[in-house]
């Protein structure tokens, strides 16, 4: 019976010949609330968008994208990148009918008012752009190349392939768009599990499809030290899982360059004084030996590891930190370094007799005070190397005085939404803040119960319905200090097999919240637009998980086949497959440009269709 149902499903899909077709939601028992999405909804939703319902044709692989700043490598490379995004490989696309005269002629990316070819996006870069389509010409305008990048992404999302396999776009469009928050990020943890460079780069691609602009790289932690330092190569030589589980200087440069071209800043995190067990493999003298029952080197599980936290009384801690942070600053062009400083499980400090003796000698009366002492010295190093610190909220909670300009990343207060008043306070005290509490995407669950439909809502609703300023009472000046937010995905149960699937499209909900207007807050409507966006991600080779029941063309079939590298479906140009194969030796030379559409897919579908139909008839008549 199961087999029969499976066959019927395949049959139903093929009967439609719906290879390119738009997202199809199947509702049976519970009609869903919310407004249905157009097939080319832009995600995140623009601040203002007006468009006609009538359409222009686009000639497949034949639309010229001009720019008055084409010599800028970021723009030139973006133009190259967008061909396979506009015209997904392996899809059947027809030339417009010969009689048609409503054909989009060109796309222009125009920089205005003396905008320059900048090298790196900055924390306050202006990403505002306009996009207009009229008289068969599309024009994206901005005063910065970053605005042009965001506008080009929007243009690519407006293009779609309709049921008759024509490539089309609305014939009149007026968009005025800009982000609500400057800081819109994703944090990846590459210590608890290693994340190969191709996966990190793929994730940067998806971030750019969602107009996110900060990659917060939690590089090292207790479990491993994959960052290969030139000053201290022993840290990764002994602290990484293996010689293959490292980021070499050229890997790091590769990630930064990939991000740069997409208007994304890379902020490295070197988390200390806690979360440092992996350092002990090569530099045990930096760590505090934890004591228990009158003996050194004792783990008390659930309380302390045997060595898991720096020893602030050890002078070499500060010489190593200074050299390492200097190197990190040189390698990462963003002028920010995340210092961590979270979860200082101070029982280890108080267990160690030497640390206690030293504290007494220098008149530090509590482990809180010891944390403050350590933080002060490292913040001083940051001042010396002229780098701006970001810290998890813990260190401010311990009343350490932070220099002006410090960014506090808020991750606590989820149970009662007390993060909201925390933002208020921190901004009042003059600190800059980024919000992560409601957006720990490593936690997986269903969403809230909907009394109208008697079903659990999708989990993404709860990320979407967060209003960062829900309790904000401060001045306009203080409001500017709420820089934005980050979706975090901690690595306990995440590695290259599931990081993209778990993040996307759940992180897209965060992306829209941080980009679009606060008044765009109906998640019932958003679910249909997000579903369209999820299908778009599949079309672009991203294994994003489902949002609603139904299917999107045949993309998810292609994805399933590509994941097990099935040559029958011939979807092997998907970069996803490369990623799995090249784990040990991430290669930057591999071409990621997919081939243009070939007839193989159509042939396979028709072949399958004939076979299935025969089977179907056999079952019916036997
Ligand atoms: C663009 O055209 C499509 C197809 O007619 C329509 O569904 C959609 O609503 C239009 N887009 C906008 C933003 O109005
Ligand atoms: C960004 O640039 C636009 C012009 O494209 C301007 O109207 C706007 O005020 C600028 N925004 C900021 C925050 O400077
Ligand atoms: C869209 O249309 C509305 C109503 O006509 C108008 O107020 C608004 O300025 C238009 N927005 C754009 C970006 O053209
Ligand atoms: C304490 O310090 C002494 C003298 O420096 C050293 O020999 C001893 O190993 C230290 N003990 C611990 C637990 O760190
Ligand atoms: C130690 O600190 C306390 C509290 O700040 C202070 O009252 C005391 O004078 C200090 N003692 C020494 C020896 O510095
Ligand atoms: C249930 O439906 C009512 C009426 O349409 C609406 O006002 C309410 O917000 C809905 N509740 C939920 C939980 O969706
Ligand atoms: C959602 O937006 C509407 C306006 O569209 C506003 O009245 C309402 O307060 C918003 N709700 C939240 C939770 O922000």
The pLDDT of residue 570 is 40
Please say if the pLDDT value at position 549 is more than 60.
yes
For ligand 7, atom 9, name the residue with the nearest CA.
Answer: 519
Q: Ligand 1: which of 21, 37, 40 to mutate, judged by most atoms within 8 Å of the beta carbon?
A: 40
**Angle 197-209/523-539 helices, nearest 10 degrees?**
130
Residue 439 has pLDDT above 90, yes or no: yes
Residue-level pLDDT at 620: 35
Enter the DSSP assignment of 270.
E
36 conformational bin, left if phi > 0, alpha if psi -120 to 50, beta if neither: beta
User: Which residue's CA is the nearest one to ligand 7's atom 8?
Assistant: 519
Predicted pLDDT at 22: 59
Predicted confidence (pLDDT) at residue 446 exceeds the cutoff of 60: yes
Position 21 confidence tier, pLDDT thresholds 50, 70, 90 = low
Query: What does 294-326 look like in DSSP terms, one character per residue?
Result: TBSS--BTTTB-SS-SB-TT-HHHHHHHHHHHH
Q: Is the pLDDT confidence value at 23 over 90?
A: no
Which residue has the CA at smallest separation from atom 1 of ligand 6?
A: 452
| Within this chain, domains 48-177 and 192-269+311-520+559-595 share the same CATH topology | no
For residues 601 and 567, the answer to whether their CB atoms sit within 8 Å is: no
In this predicted structure, the answer to whether residue 591 has a pLDDT above a threshold of 70 is no
Assigned CATH topology for domain 192-269+311-520+559-595: TIM Barrel (3.20.20)
Active site residue 492: no
Q: SS3 of 123, please?
A: coil
Q: What is the DSSP annotation of 55-96? A: EEEE-TT--EEEETTTTSHHHHHHHHHHHHHHS-TT---BPP
Q: Given this model, what pLDDT does residue 592 score?
A: 31
Q: What is the overall mean pLDDT for the chain?
A: 86
How remote is the CA of residue 180 from the centroid of ligand 7, in Å? Answer: 15
**More confident call, 135 vs 91:** 135
115-154 pLDDT, tens digit per residue, is 999 999 999 999 999 999 999 999 999 999 999 999 999 9
Average pLDDT value for residue range 167-194: 98
Where is mean pLDDT largest: 505-519, 532-546, 555-569? 505-519
Report the distance separating Cα 9 and Cα 15, nearest Å: 10
Q: How many Cα atoms sit within 13 Å of 14 on the Cβ side?
A: 22
Q: Select which of 343, 401, 467, 492 is catalytic.
A: 343
Per DSSP, the three-state class of 343 is: coil
* Spacing, Cα 354 to ligand 4 middle (Å): 6
Cα 385 vs. chain centroid, distance in angstroms?
29
Shortest-distance ligand to the CA of residue 126: 2
The class of domain 48-177 in CATH terms is alpha beta
Indicate whether 607 pLDDT > 50: no
Interval 316-345 mean pLDDT: 96
Closest CA to 336 of 122, 503, 510, 143: 122
548 pLDDT band, cuts 50/70/90, is: confident
Whether 66 shows a pLDDT value over 90: the answer reads yes
Q: Classify residue 320 as left (phi > 0), alpha (psi -120 to 50) or beta.
A: alpha
For atom 9 of ligand 6, which residue has the closest CA? 452
Given this model, what pLDDT does residue 226 score? 98
521 lines ligand 7 (CB under 6 A): yes
480 has a pLDDT exceeding 70:
yes
Would the CB of 50 count as within 6 Å of ligand 3?
Answer: yes
Ligand 6 pocket, mutate which of 30, 31, 32, 33 (most atoms under 8 A from CB): 33
> In which band, very low, low, confident or very high, does the pLDDT at 3 lie, cut at 50, 70 and 90?
very low
Rounded to the nearest angstrom, the distance between the alpha carbon of 315 and the centre of ligand 5 is: 22
Q: Which of 463, 521, 522 to mutate to test the pocket of ligand 7 (most atoms within 8 A of CB)?
A: 521
- pLDDT, residue 622, reads 33
Between CA 571 and CA 566 the distance in angstroms is: 8
Alpha helices in 106-248 (DSSP H): 145-158, 197-209, 234-239
Q: What does the alpha-carbon distance between residue 245 and residue 224 come to, in Å, rounded to a whole number? A: 9
Torsional sign, CA 248, 250, 253, 255: negative
Q: Which atom of ligand 7 is nearest to the CA of 465?
A: 13
Taking each helix axis as running N to C, give the angle between helix 523-539 and helix 506-515, from 0 to 180 degrees, rounded to the nearest 10: 120
Ligand 5 mean position, distance from CA 366 (Å) = 13
Q: In the prediction, which pLDDT does 590 show?
A: 31
Q: CB–CB of 131/155 below 8 Å?
A: yes
Instruction: Collect all residues with Cβ–Cβ distance below 8 Å to 497 and sequence separation of at least 6.
Output: none
Cβ(257) – ligand 7 distance below 6 Å: no
76 Cβ neighbours under 8 A, 6+ residues apart: 67, 70
Q: Which residue has the higher pLDDT, 561 or 614?
A: 561
Higher pLDDT, 165 or 238: 238
Q: pLDDT value at position 345?
A: 86
Q: Residue 422 pLDDT more than 90?
A: yes
Interstrand relation of 455-456 and 173-177 (parallel, antiparallel or unpaired): unpaired
What is the C-alpha separation between 462 and 21, in angstroms, rounded?
A: 30
Band of residue 561 on the pLDDT scale cut at 50, 70, 90: low
Q: pLDDT tens for residues 288-306?
A: 999 999 999 999 888 888 9
Other beta carbons less than 10 A from residue 290's beta carbon: 25
Q: How far is the CA of 314 from the centre of ligand 5 (A)?
A: 22
Ligand 7 neighbour 467 (Cβ under 6 A): yes
In this predicted model, which residue has the larger pLDDT, 350 or 25?
350
- The highest-confidence range among 7-21, 152-166, 317-331, 599-613, by mean pLDDT, is 317-331
Residue 328: which pLDDT band, with cuts at 50, 70 and 90?
very high
- Does 143 contact ligand 2 (Cβ within 6 A)? yes
550 pLDDT tier (thresholds 50, 70, 90): confident
On the question of pLDDT at 395 being above 80, the answer is: yes
* Residue 519 beta carbon below 6 angstroms from any ligand 7 atom: yes
**Atom 10 of ligand 6, nearest CA residue:** 452
- Give the number of the atom of ligand 4 that is nearest the alpha carbon of residue 355: 14
The tokens describing 599, both together, are 């007839």
Cα 361 to ligand 5 centroid, rounded to whole Å: 11
Ligand 2 near 565 CB (within 6 A): no
Confidence of residue 253 (pLDDT cuts 50, 70, 90): very high
From the CA of 464, which ligand is nearest? 7
Atom 3, ligand 4: residue with shortest CA distance? 354
Atom 3 (ligand 3) nearest CA: 50
Average pLDDT of 522-547?
Answer: 92
| Higher-scoring residue by pLDDT: 1, 272 | 272
- Tens-place pLDDT, residues 262-271: 999 999 999 9
- Ligand nearest to the CA of residue 364, numbered in listed order: 5
Domain ranges in the chain are 2-31+600-621, 48-177, 192-269+311-520+559-595
Ligand 6 midpoint to CA 236 (Å): 54
């Amino acid at each position: 019976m199961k087999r029969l149902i499976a066959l019927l499903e395949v049959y139903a899909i093929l009967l439609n010949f719906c290879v390119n077709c738009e997202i199809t939601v199947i509702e049976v028992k519970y009609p869903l609330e919310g407004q249905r999405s157009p097939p080319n909804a832009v995600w995140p939703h623009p601040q203002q968008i007006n468009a006609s319902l009538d359409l222009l044709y686009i000639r497949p692989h034949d639309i010229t994208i001009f720019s008055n700043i084409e010599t800028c490598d970021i723009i030139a490379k973006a133009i190259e990148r967008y061909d396979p995004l506009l015209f997904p490989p392996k899809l059947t696309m027809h030339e417009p009918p010969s009689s048609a005269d409503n054909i989009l002629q060109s796309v222009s990316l125009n920089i205005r008012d003396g905008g320059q070819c900048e090298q790196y996006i900055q924390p306050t870069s202006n990403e505002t752009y306009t996009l207009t389509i009229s008289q068969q010409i599309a024009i994206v305008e901005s005063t910065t190349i970053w605005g042009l990048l965001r506008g080009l992404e929007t243009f690519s999302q407006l293009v779609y392939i309709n049921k008759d396999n024509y490539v089309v776009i609305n014939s009149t469009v007026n968009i005025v768009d800009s982000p609500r928050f400057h800081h819109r990020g994703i944090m990846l943890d590459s210590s608890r599990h290693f994340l190969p460079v191709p996966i990190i780069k793929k994730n940067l691609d998806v971030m750019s499809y969602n107009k996110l602009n900060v990659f917060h790289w939690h590089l090292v932690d207790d479990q491993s030290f994959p960052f290969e330092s030139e000053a201290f190569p022993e840290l990764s030589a002994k602290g990484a899982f293996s010689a293959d589980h490292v980021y070499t200087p050229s890997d790091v440069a590769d990630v930064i360059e990939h991000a740069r071209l997409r208007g994304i800043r890379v902020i490295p995190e070197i988390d200390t004084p806690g979360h440092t067990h992996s350092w002990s493999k090569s530099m045990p003298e930096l760590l505090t030996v934890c004591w228990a029952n009158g003996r050194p080197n004792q783990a008390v599980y659930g309380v302390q590891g045997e060595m898991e936290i720096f020893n602030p009384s050890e002078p070499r801690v500060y010489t190593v930190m200074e050299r390492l942070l200097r190197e990190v600053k040189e390698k990462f062009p963003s002028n920010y370094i995340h210092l961590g400083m979270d979860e200082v499980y101070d029982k280890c400090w108080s267990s160690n007799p030497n640390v206690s003796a030293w504290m007494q000698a220098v008149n530090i009366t509590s482990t809180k005070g010891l944390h403050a002492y350590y933080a002060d010295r490292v913040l001083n190093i940051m001042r010396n190397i002229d780098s701006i610190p970001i810290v998890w909220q813990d260190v401010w909670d311990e009343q350490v005085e932070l220099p002006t300009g410090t960014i506090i990343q808020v991750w606590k207060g989820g149970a009662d939404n007390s993060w909201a008043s925390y933002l208020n306070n921190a901004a009042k005290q003059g600190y800059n803040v980024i919000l992560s509490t409601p957006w720990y995407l490593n936690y997986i669950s269903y969403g809230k119960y909907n009394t109208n439909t008697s079903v659990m809502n999708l989990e993404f609703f709860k990320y979407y319905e967060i209003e960062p300023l829900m309790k904000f009472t401060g001045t306009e000046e203080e409001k500017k200090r709420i820089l934005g937010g980050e979706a975090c995905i901690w690595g306990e149960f995440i590695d290259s097999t599931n990081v993209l699937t778990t993040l996307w499209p759940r992180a897209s909900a965060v992306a829209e919240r941080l980009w679009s207007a606060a008044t765009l807050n109906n998640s019932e409507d958003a679910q249909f637009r997000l579903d369209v966006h999820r299908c778009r991600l599949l079309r672009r080779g991203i294994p994003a998980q489902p949002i609603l029941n139904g299917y999107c063309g045949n993309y998810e079939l292609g994805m399933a086949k590509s994941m097990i590298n099935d040559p029958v479906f011939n979807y092997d140009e998907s970069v996803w497959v490369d990623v799995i194969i090249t784990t040990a030796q991430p290669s930057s030379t591999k071409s990621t440009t997919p081939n243009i559409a070939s007839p193989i897919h159509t042939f396979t579908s028709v072949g399958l269709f004939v076979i299935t139909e025969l089977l179907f008839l056999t079952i019916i008549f036997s």
